Structure 1
Amino acid sequence: MEAETLALAQEIDFSMWGLFARATITVKLVMILLIVASFWSWSIIIQKLISYRQARREAAIFDRAFWSGEPLDELFGQIGVDPSGRAERVFAAGMVEWQRSHREDGALIAGAQARIDRSMDVSIQKEAEELQGGLPVLATVGSTAPFVGLFGTVFGIMNAFIEIAAQQNTSLVVVAPGIAEALLATALGLLAAIPAVIFYNKLSADSDRIIAGYEAFADEFSTILSRQLDS
């Protein structure tokens, strides 16, 4: 009897595809949902890693140009009103408002400093929204994927016990496939959630540092313009 049971167990396909193929429709839908969530998370992770690296590189290049001693009007003329770099866009927002605050006779319109600061704050907020876009998806996947996988596991185990009762057989051949199929859902849930949580924390910290750099630059730029206003 044991030899027969062992032979039957060896014939069962315990590969990922085999477990998926034998699962019930509900468990299959859960697995597909978790696989899609995992691919979606990884696409966001890769895109953000590339975007953040580019943002840091652009900020470093612009920072060197800004502090090179070149007149700000000339620097603004080089990068234009709508530059491609994020740090450059913050600078351009301040310079555009600075130029608009001058009357035709060269005098400044009252409240120029406050308007320049608001313009740069709005620009920083726009950059922050773009930098942090997609991070809520990682947070959602990281927090919900284990529970979605657990739902698939509970549903799969329930069906496994129903099958055991129907066959009135508790041998390994009957029990093992159903339990393995059910546990695969939990494994996929963890596979989707763990990278999402890790990279959500990392990318959130990276975006906060990048945005803090923009805010520090805006404060320094505002101080420079304030000196010119006072003079």
Structure 2
Amino acid sequence: MLLIATPGFAVGQTVAAQAHPSSVPMMNALLPHDLSPWSMFLSADWVVKLVMIGLACASVVTWTTLLAKSIELTRAVRRQRLVLAVVTRVRSLAEAGAQIGTQDAAGAALVGAAQDELRLSADAADDRDGLKERIVSHLERVEAAIGRRMSKGTGVLATIGATAPFVGLFGTVWGIMNSFIGISKAQTTNLAVVAPGIAEALLATAIGLVAAIPAVVIYNHFARQITAYKALVADTSAGVLRLVSRDLSRSGAGRIQTPSRPRVAG
């Protein structure tokens, strides 16, 4: 009756003590006294430690990319909206180039590409359709280059989001293997032997999820923001093409003002 009234773990310990009196101190010594995340990290195997450190570094990279890319995108979108307003407002390509100047690299590249083609095609003034096709080709390549430049840095987020869960799973498997090794060495299935390895394994899994989930969410956020930015660049490109067509219709290709292309720092 005394054993029934005692808590469950005490019942098992009492029964084990009756069968093997000398095993009680050993079980008490094996019981983990601190299972905080930091203590689990310190007591983990070196492979699991490397996994945790790598995942922690990946998480730092994720949040650093969020901060840096958010600032870059915010500034780029603000400048591109100003450039689009200028291209929409002005009456000629030369006026657009003068007002944009070197304030925005993307806008200056689009206007400069059109001006360069007009200058190179000065001796083919009569072939207006061919001139427009060449300008469209230039603008499309400039748009693609601007999109690639803005997408730099987001690929690492996709990599972290795709691989971090599996890296954490590797740490989990390694921790469980250590648990079975501990069982084999101690010749017992006592929880005190199994718990530390399982705790390390679960901690590696948790860190992998902590690194992967924000990376996926942030990557999707940037994908939407970059798509919106590309749409602004496409609108600006269309505005530049309208200016070229307007100039061709108004004056003729031979008399279009084509100032030298502005040089953009960086």
Is structure 2 residue 117 aligned with structure 1 residue 97?
Answer: yes
Map of 1:69-148 to 2, 5 A cutoff?
69=90, 71-80=92-101, 83-103=103-123, 108=125, 110=127, 111-148=130-167
Is structure 2 residue 76 aligned with structure 1 residue 51?
Answer: no
**Which residue of 1 is the match for residue 52 of structure 2?**
31
Which deviations, in whole Å up to 9, do the C-alpha atoms of 1:156-179 show, x marking residues without a partner? 111112112211233333222211
- Offset of residue 197 of structure 1: 0.6
Aligned residues: 226
Q: Secondary structure at the match of 1:197?
A: helix
* CA distance in structure 2 between the aligned counterparts of 1:6 and 1:123, rounded to whole angstroms: 71
Contact kept in structure 1, 2:84 and 2:232, CA below 8 Å: no
- Offset of residue 8 of structure 1: 6.7
Distance 1:158 1:174, change over 3 A: same
Q: Secondary structure at the match of 1:134?
A: coil
**Which residue of 1 is the match for residue 86 of structure 2?**
65
Q: TM-score, normalised by structure 1?
A: 0.86
Contact kept in structure 1, 2:51 and 2:167, CA below 8 Å: yes
Q: Secondary structure at the match of 1:170?
A: coil
Which deviations, in whole Å up to 9, do the C-alpha atoms of 1:46-101 show, x marking residues without a partner? 22211111111001111222233364313313433x55442343233223323443
Unaligned runs of 5+ in 1: none
* CA distance in structure 2 between the aligned counterparts of 1:25 and 1:109, rounded to whole angstroms: 74
Contact kept in structure 2, 1:102 and 1:109, CA below 8 Å: no
* CA distance in structure 1 between the aligned counterparts of 2:91 and 2:36, rounded to whole angstroms: 65
- Offset of residue 6 of structure 1: 7.5
Q: TM-score, normalised by structure 2?
A: 0.75
- Greater CA deviation, 183-192 or 109-118? 109-118
Unaligned runs of 5+ in 2: 1-8, 14-24, 251-266
* CA distance in structure 2 between the aligned counterparts of 1:148 and 1:10, rounded to whole angstroms: 26
Q: Secondary structure at the match of 1:76?
A: helix
Contact kept in structure 2, 1:142 and 1:194, CA below 8 Å: yes
**Which residue of 1 is the match for residue 242 of structure 2?**
223
- Greater CA deviation, 45-54 or 162-171? 162-171
| Identity among equivalent pairs (%) | 38
Which deviations, in whole Å up to 9, do the C-alpha atoms of 1:94-153 show, x marking residues without a partner? 2332344335xxx72743212211221121111111111122211111111101101110
* CA distance in structure 2 between the aligned counterparts of 1:67 and 1:143, rounded to whole angstroms: 42
- Greater CA deviation, 41-50 or 155-164? 41-50
- Based on CA coordinates, which of the two structures has the bigger radius of gyration? 2
* CA distance in structure 2 between the aligned counterparts of 1:94 and 1:18, rounded to whole angstroms: 63
